[in-house]
Amino acid sequence: MEKILPTPRLLLREFCEEDARALFPFFADERANLFLPWFPVRTMADARELVGRFMAEDAGGTAVHRAICLAGEPVGYIHADCGESRDLGYALRRDLWGQGLAAEAGFAFLGALERSGFPYVTATHDVNNPASGAVMKKLGLTYRYSYREQWQPKDVSVVFRMYQRDFGENAGTYRGYWDKYSEHWEEKIDG
């Protein structure tokens, strides 16, 4: 996949160790991290460890991570798992919410994933985070099903809605979460 993806307002690029310093306030923000799959960082060493994990997953081919940069500064991230789920995730600094930047980054990132041979992407959002679901819909992902899991590492019960975007024909709906969690169902979702 391309290492650098420009958009009209952003630049998506691979992470580097120096990004931990710029992203520390974002990674430490309790509200911005409420729906993210880790606890807010407490120290610069924690931020370095998180950025290092992104870099190691890229190098190991288990995921694709890109720093979302605005005016040259990293302000968030976007990533996709390279396993069967092809799970997409994204987050931005809280002061940048509501400006369409997540969708702008998402369109560029999804285009690169498609060009690199991804057959589809999935994305899930907590039902208490409808803004993330709105981004998924803007990006052309469609709702497939819902499920409840005891979400780790935060150890809370969460209802997730699973969306998917197919890049080719016959991708089929990813059923991994459906099969893994006994409490699952389909909802009537508008749009």
DSSP string of the chain? --SEEE-SSEEEE---TTHHHHHHHHHH-TTTTTTSSSPPP-SHHHHHHHHHHHHHHHHHTSEEEEEEEETTEEEEEEEEESSTT-BEEEEE-GGGTTSSHHHHHHHHHHHHHHHTT--EEEEEEETT-HHHHHHHHHTT-EEEEEEEEEETTTTEEEEEEEEEEESSTT-----HHHHH-SSEE------
The answer to whether the beta carbons of residues 105 and 70 sit under 8 Å apart is no
According to the model, what pLDDT value does residue 33 have? 94
Q: In this model, does residue 68 exceed pLDDT 80?
A: yes
According to the model, what pLDDT value does residue 171 have? 85
Mean pLDDT computed over 151-159: 96
Residue 44 lies in a domain: yes
pLDDT digits (tens, 9 = 90+) for 73-128: 999 999 999 999 999 999 999 999 999 999 999 999 999 999 999 999 999 999 99
According to the model, what pLDDT value does residue 191 have? 56
Domain residues for 101? 4-185
Residue 49 lies in a domain: yes
Residue 124 lies in a domain: yes
Residue 64 lies in a domain: yes
Question: Model-level pTM?
Answer: 0.96
Provide the CATH number for the domain around residue 161: 3.40.630.30
Q: How far is CA 106 from CA 59, 150, 179, in A?
A: 21, 27, 27
Residue 105 lies in a domain: yes
Residue 83 lies in a domain: yes
| pLDDT range class, residue 170, cuts 50, 70, 90 | confident
CA 105 – CA 101 distance, rounded (Å): 6
| pLDDT range class, residue 54, cuts 50, 70, 90 | very high
144 phi-psi bin (left φ>0, alpha ψ -120 to 50, beta other): alpha
| pLDDT range class, residue 168, cuts 50, 70, 90 | confident
According to the model, what pLDDT value does residue 189 have? 83
According to the model, what pLDDT value does residue 20 have? 98
Residue 190 lies in a domain: no
Number of domains in the chain: 1
- Report the interhelical angle of 101-115 vs 130-138 (nearest 10°): 50
According to the model, what pLDDT value does residue 80 have? 98
49 phi-psi bin (left φ>0, alpha ψ -120 to 50, beta other): alpha
Q: In this model, does residue 31 exceed pLDDT 70?
A: yes
Our measurement of the distance from residue 42's CA atom to the centroid of its chain's CA atoms, rounded to an integer in Å, reads 22
CA 33 – CA 51 distance, rounded (Å): 15
Q: If you average pLDDT over every residue of the chain, what do you get?
A: 96
Mean pLDDT computed over 147-175: 95
Residue 191 lies in a domain: no
